[in-house]
Amino acid sequence: MFVYTVKAEEEIAVCSAKNEYIKFSVSNYIRFQSPNYPSTMYGNINSTCNASFVPEINGNYLWLTILNGDLINPFINDGLTNSTFEYVYQSNYDVTTFTSTSGIINFELLYNYYGMASEAFWDAVVLSFSPSSAAKCPFSDQIITMDNETIIPISSDFGIPELFTYPNCNWKFKNVDPENFQFKVYIKQLIYPYSLLLSNMYFDGNVTVDDPQVRYFNGSDLTIMSINANNDEKVSNGFFAIISLVPIKANYIEECQVQTNSDGTVAISNIDYENGYKPFSTCSYNISIPTGHEAILLISQHFLEAGVDKLTVSKGNESFELRNNGYFKIQKEFNGSILKFIADGNTQQAGFSAVYRTIGKF
């Protein structure tokens, strides 16, 4: 049976140099973000960023998961034991959760830890839940009313191994503006024994963090069921997805900069470490390869929402997605192809930087 959850204005907590206790006052979950998210902490190199979360009801547990961002070694602990979670987190490659049964989660990030944390940014959710729900799934058995600012992570478990029962879990979401917004289901992990029922669509493909999948659904209602084919199989976060709303109508913005350098190379970039690229931003560059030559494309920075915001090289019916940093050889047959970037309507990162040059004669 679903329990109706009244949609209140989301609480957003931000860490600070002064460690403060953050209590849940409006609902049972809080958005937790870096200062001025999605800007990075660039320039803040001589301080720390701290936060401590306590539930609104004494005895409740806490679950923290990071949705988007890049962090170098945050310190996360439950305040009572010696267990401390230290991690290099990049949202394109990780599913990260932390559970506290002690009634507190402490978070600390040193801005200049290992010399790189000043470039950190993140968007996270902290959920308060009762011990009686610990064997269920985060946000399950609720009707969650969503607007375009709401982001809800769902998972196969709360990460408490001794309580793993792997039930089949259910979620129901309501779209407050179905004429202008659609549901976005961003599946970051789905591995055996799990499968999904997304409204009337059965989804059992193996999904890993290095190849996430996204599905869009129109309408005012979205129901999701996670199905476990083998209750004896225990896999933490065997299923993990992020639910949000994005505009149906895409008003694309040309945002990249293209510059020809003195050595003949061409730099193409939309990188912005302070603000990130904009929703529905796009750009393209026509690749021209002289007769008898090939080309090299160097992607030196690649901070995009993996599986959603795409950087591709395409010609005709052929298209290749560039999913990470590295050198990519473009053969002469791809003369006239197009390097293109395109983003959807939410969850941005810093962007990409590329350098294009032709090589040799063949």
- Give the pLDDT score at 154: 95
The verdict on 8 and 90 lying in the same domain is yes
Beta-strand pair 310-315/294-303? unpaired
Given 131, 159, 184, the domain boundary residue is: 131
The verdict on 171 and 183 lying in the same domain is yes
The verdict on 1 and 105 lying in the same domain is yes
Given 204, 226, 248, the domain boundary residue is: 248
Q: Which 8-state DSSP code applies to residue 275?
A: T
Average pLDDT of the chain?
84
Given 131, 150, 173, the domain boundary residue is: 131
Question: Quick check: 229 and 175 in contact, CB under 8 A?
Answer: no
pLDDT digits (tens, 9 = 90+) for 287-339: 999 988 899 999 999 989 999 999 999 999 999 999 888 999 998 889 999 99
The verdict on 45 and 146 lying in the same domain is no
In 130-208, beta strands by DSSP E? 142-146, 152-155, 169-175, 181-190, 194-198, 201-203
- Give the pLDDT score at 152: 95
Q: Which 8-state DSSP code applies to residue 16?
A: B
Helix or strand or coil: residue 158?
A: coil
CATH number at residue 354: 2.60.120.290
- Give the pLDDT score at 49: 82
The verdict on 236 and 329 lying in the same domain is no
Per-residue pLDDT, averaged over 3-26, amounts to: 62
- Give the pLDDT score at 79: 82
The verdict on 56 and 99 lying in the same domain is yes
Total domains, the chain: 3
What is the model's pTM?
A: 0.89
Question: Quick check: 23 and 52 in contact, CB under 8 A?
Answer: no
The verdict on 230 and 290 lying in the same domain is no
What backbone torsions phi and psi does residue 233 show, to the nearest 5 degrees? Answer: -85, 125
Tokens of 176: 């407050």
- Count other C-beta atoms under 10 Å from residue 13's C-beta: 18
- The Cα–Cα gap between 241 and 173 comes to 14
The verdict on 1 and 113 lying in the same domain is yes
The verdict on 101 and 156 lying in the same domain is no
Range of the domain at 143: 135-248
Check pLDDT > 60 for residue 237: yes
The enclosing H or E element of 221 equals: strand 221-228
The verdict on 106 and 200 lying in the same domain is no
CA angle 317, 287, 300 (to 5 degrees): 105
pLDDT digits (tens, 9 = 90+) for 51-60: 899 988 889 9
The verdict on 107 and 165 lying in the same domain is no
- The Cα–Cα gap between 236 and 318 comes to 37
The verdict on 298 and 186 lying in the same domain is no
